[in-house]
Structure formats: structure tokens, C-alpha cells
Amino acid sequence: MRRARVRSVAAVAAVTVSLVLSACSSTPEAAPAPSTTASATPTSSTSSKPTSSAPPTSRSTSAKPTSSAPPKTTAPVTNPDPLTGQQLSGNPVVAVKIDNTYFDVAQFGVSKADVVFVEQVEGGLTRLIAVFHTNLDQEVGPVRSVRTTDAELLPAFGTPALVFSGGAQGPLDALASTSVVNTSDLQTGYFRSDVASGSYNLHANLAEVVASTSGLTPARSIGFTFAATDARVAKGSAATEIAVTMQAGLTTFSWNGSAYARMRNGEAMADYQGDPQLADNVLVQSVVDEPDGTYDTVGSPSYISHTVGSGAVTLYRDGKALEGTWSRDSVDGTFSYLDAAGKPLPFKPGRTWVILAPQSAYTEVS
């Protein structure tokens, strides 16, 4: 087994907001599933603005997936989709903040996301930003609150929608200054599922959210260059087991011969609907994080992971590891992912998981 410390050379800017965020008191991914004791939505002690307006209505949750995955293709796609490299979808982009600490009930809809980002939040825990484009007829959840990382990252997609459950005033203000469309005030699309309670039962129907949202732009490339085959892949080092530790948050994948299966406690993870959480690409992107001026109720700082800057990156596909660098010049700009020769890294057509690994994280590969 080899262990590599993740590093980044991103330039960072201090954020001077000071607010109070409710504690995220769940256990990390690798630990046994916790009970529901945490507050659902972070709040600000200096703001009278409500942190979430999601209606308290309840709805029976779906037991089966409502749409299928995009077809795998072996022949070149004439007009590939910018987010998957597969069949072009005319859908807009919808990002969803999804809890990544509570596992008494499985997550909803994550397997159908085209791109999933793993971000560090307060207490060393992680949350997901699941980006949907190909499949919008989905029930997703549990939906959680916004962070400043989201405001810096999501404009790379152009004008996407963001599904979330509110947040502290600092992250809300950061989001409001971007192109991202805030859907948290919608009276349709959000509902309380009957499969969980407390902080972990807010779900969303993406088709309903999109039907009630205007101003979204078509999907654009965020910097992925797709290649079904590439000679560089065979020359990469073997990588069948990947484990990225971010303080209390652990993200692991295992190569199953055709894709990377997301793992937890030695078992492959699946959605509540039964679909496995698989990745054709796993990208470990080294970033610099820093406290953003927001704290939870026990004094733990919330962090912004900077996605404007540059750093090291490793692309895992087909059981191999390809080293390179990433860069992004502005919040409205897209990413560049290059190998040591300055050529675009070859992403495999399909789904991609991106782990935003801060300077305190480390990666183990075998």
C-alpha cells in the first residue's frame, strides 16, 4: 500500500464573516450509523432571515428508481454531453446538497448524479454536492444546508440550480453573489419523506424543482476531456483500492473490474432505491481550505475549500492512476486538468466523483 499526502499551491483569500452555525453532530462515514440528534439547518445569530423555507409537508417516498442510467456506449459519440462524454442531454444542471454522515437510512438518488463532489465541512465531516443533468426525474436526499465552498465551485457549471435547506447568513450571501439559482424558497419540489425524521427527512423531486425554476442555462463543460480509450491509461500505476481521509471524513472506492464502487465499512454502497453508487472516474483534487468565519454551536469552524487556484490532481479510471495538475482562474471560469506533458487528462465517459481534498487530507492507494 502506498500513502501520499495531498498538497495544493492554491492562493487563498481570507473570509471575514463571523456567524454561528448549528452543530453537525453526526458520525463520520466510516463509523456506525448515528441516531438523529443533530439540528436540520444551520442558523445565524445575527440574521433575522429564515434559513430555510422548505414546506413541512410529508410524502411517501419512492421505493424504486424513477429513471435509468444513461446507456454505456463503446462507439464514439458524435455530439457528447459536456458532463458525461456520453449521449447528449438537453437538461439543465441541478446541484443538490446531500448529507454524508447519517446512514440509518440510505441516501436517495446519488447513484444517478453525473458528477459528485465530496467537500469538508465543520468538525472534519463531509457532505456531498451531487450534480444532476442526465437524470432529473429523481427523488434526492437527505437535503442539507449550503456552504461557502458551494458558492465558489458551482458557477463552473454556468447557471445551475442549487437544491439545499438553508444556511448561515455568510454562505447565503456568498451564494447570492453568484450565478447559481437558489431554489430553497420554492413551495413545490421539496417535501418531508416518511422514511426518516429530524434533520434527515427533507427530500426533493428534481423534476418538480426544475418545472418551477427559470433562468437555468444549458450544461457546459467544466473542464473534463473524455476519451473512451487512451494509451496513457495502461501506463498508469495500479489503483484498485482508494481511501481519502479528511479528518473525521473517510471516502473509499474499490475497483470492481468495470467501475469504482463506493464503499463503507467494507461493503458497496447503494441508494435507498437499490442502485449502486458507482464512478467511472474518481478524481482526487488537492485544494487549500481555511475557516470561512462561520462556527457551529460547539465552536468548530466551517471551512471553504478553494476551487479557484491550482494544485495537484490524480485521476483514477479503469483501475489505474494518472497524475496531473488542475487550475482555475476565476469563480466564473472552468477547470483545466492536465498531465505532466501538458495534455488534458483522459476522463472515461460516464460518471465522475471529485474529492476536494484539503491540505490536511491524505490518500491511500493499493
* pLDDT bucket at 78, cuts 50 / 70 / 90: confident
The pLDDT assigned to 72 comes to: 52
Residue 287 has pLDDT above 50, yes or no: yes
Residue 67 has pLDDT above 60, yes or no: no
Q: What is the mean pLDDT of residues 34-44?
A: 33
Residue 44 has pLDDT above 80, yes or no: no
Residue 150 has pLDDT above 50, yes or no: yes
**If you average pLDDT over every residue of the chain, what do you get?**
84
Considering only CA atoms, which of 202, 176, 201, 179 is closest in space to residue 189? 202
The larger pLDDT score, comparing residue 15 to residue 173, is at 173
Considering only CA atoms, which of 222, 228, 224, 234 is closest in space to residue 322? 234
Q: What is the mean pLDDT of residues 304-319?
A: 98
Q: What is the mean pLDDT of residues 355-362?
A: 96
Residue 80 has pLDDT above 90, yes or no: yes
Residue 101 burial (CB count, 10 A): 25
Q: What is the mean pLDDT of residues 120-129?
A: 92
* pLDDT bucket at 299, cuts 50 / 70 / 90: confident
The larger pLDDT score, comparing residue 341 to residue 8, is at 341
Q: Give pTM, 2 decimals.
A: 0.83
Q: How far is CA 206 from CA 134, 142, 233, in A?
A: 11, 13, 35
Task: Give CA–CA dist 274/110, Å, rounded.
Answer: 11
Task: Give CA–CA dist 325/340, Å, rounded.
Answer: 8
The larger pLDDT score, comparing residue 54 to residue 275, is at 275
- C-alpha cell, 72: 454505456
Q: What is the mean pLDDT of residues 134-152?
A: 95
Q: What is the mean pLDDT of residues 198-203?
A: 92
